[in-house]
Amino acid sequence: MSSDLKVTLTNNPKEKPQDDKLGFGQIFTDHMFVMDYETGKGWHDARIEPYGPFSIDPSMMVLHYGQAIFEGMKAYRNIDGKIKVFRPKSFLARMNRSAARVCIPQIDTEFVATALKKLISIDKDWVPSKEGTSLYIRPFIVATDPYLGVRPSHKYRFFIILSPVGAYYPEGLNPVKIWVETKYVRAVPGGLGEAKTPANYAASILAAEEAKEHGYTQVLWLDGVERKYVEEVGTMNIFFKINNKIVTPALNGSILGGMTRDSVMRLAREWGMEVEEVKISIEEVYEAHANGSLQEIFGTGTAAVISPVSSLNWAGKIITVNDGKSGETSLRLYDEITGIQYGKFPDIFEWMEEVE
């Protein structure tokens, strides 16, 4: 693969938004990273160019069969003014695992991490500084072969786009209400569940819309076979604090292995808390609530960070957790993770990589 990176700067820089007007994923910076792949040639033509639309062939394979993957990561403006990316190599390694599952060629993670830092440094003035804001990074790869047969594409395009963001959920750090999904399933063993591929999100939106109609922010997915075991929430992994122990569903092939999930487990263990990855049924969660041992529920994700859960609705049975308030462990994890990300606390796990 080529290690050259061509840079073309925009002649029309856009107006930057105010930090307090940021939602999620609606504003894009001035530049993007692009790289092409062709069988026999490998990844080539890596470039940073002005952000903008690109022309596509209507027969491009991703439009028909959905062969695509993506990632979601973040860069933060630290309190000392430096810009740092949270665990970029781990995210790009996961991207390669997703790629393998849908027959997309592997990327050189070192090269892409370097290109990403270059892109961020070009668009550095777009990195917001207000607490709770960050620069969301969306790398993605799509199959571009103009072909209607079903097989792996012979051509791909890799993009990285950047978006200054605030909170993902309008609730922010206030607790969200979650609908336990009993009608639809997201993934099954052997399927695509652990890959970050658009199909999983397409599978989730009808359920999320119906949950919203009922007044719930997101759905909690149960396993696709028995509809009994807890898997993950729409855009987050899920955690329970039961009897002072942190419990999360074990990765089983149909759950996305979240980076925030991993970071939360490492932090909680560092604090001396017991952390278990287990197969946990929704019934056990309800039992823990009934016997008073369910202390907290929270979701974790790059976009959402830590999102406390105030209540669950499982087939009409509603439970309220921690009197509907954000729990102490959720808040402590939020403070610690964001403290590391904004450079307020020591980066004990060496998660942050500086953009020069």
C-alpha span between 98 and 100 (Å, rounded): 5
Give the dihedral sign, CA 44/45/46/52.
Answer: negative
Q: Is there binding between residue 302 and ligand COI (CB under 6 A)?
A: yes
Note the helical H segments in the chain: 61-65, 88-101, 109-122, 198-202, 205-213, 259-270, 282-290, 328-341
Give residues with Cβ within 8 angstroms of 203, minimum separation 6: 184, 185, 186, 187
Q: Give the nearest distance from C-beta 236 to ligand COI in angstroms.
A: 7
Q: In terms of CB distance, is 144 or 235 closer to ligand COI?
A: 235
Closest approach, Cβ 124 to ligand COI, in A, equals 21
Applying CB under 6 A, which part among 9-17, 109-117, 242-250, 300-308 lies near ligand COI? 300-308
d(CA 72, CA 14) in angstroms, rounded, equals 23
Nearest residue (CB) to ligand COI, 267 versus 304: 304
Of 222 and 305, CB closest to ligand COI: 305
Task: Write out the two tokens for 114.
Answer: 């370097």
CA distance 1 to 108: 8
187 touching ligand COI, by CB under 6 A: no
Shortest Å, Cβ 139 to ligand COI: 11
Q: Which of 105, 139, 164, 301 binds ligand COI (CB under 6 A)?
A: 301
Q: Which of residues 197-236 bind ligand COI (CB under 6 A)?
A: 201, 235
Length of the chain in residues, anyone?
356
101 phi, psi to nearest 5 deg:
-70, -30
Map tokens 């959920």 to a residue: 169
72 lies in the binding site for ligand COI (CB under 6 A) = yes
Q: Which is nearer to ligand COI, 280 or 306 (CB)?
A: 306
Could you say whether residue 164 binds ligand COI (CB under 6 A)?
no
Binding site for ligand COI (CB under 6 A): 72, 201, 235, 301-303
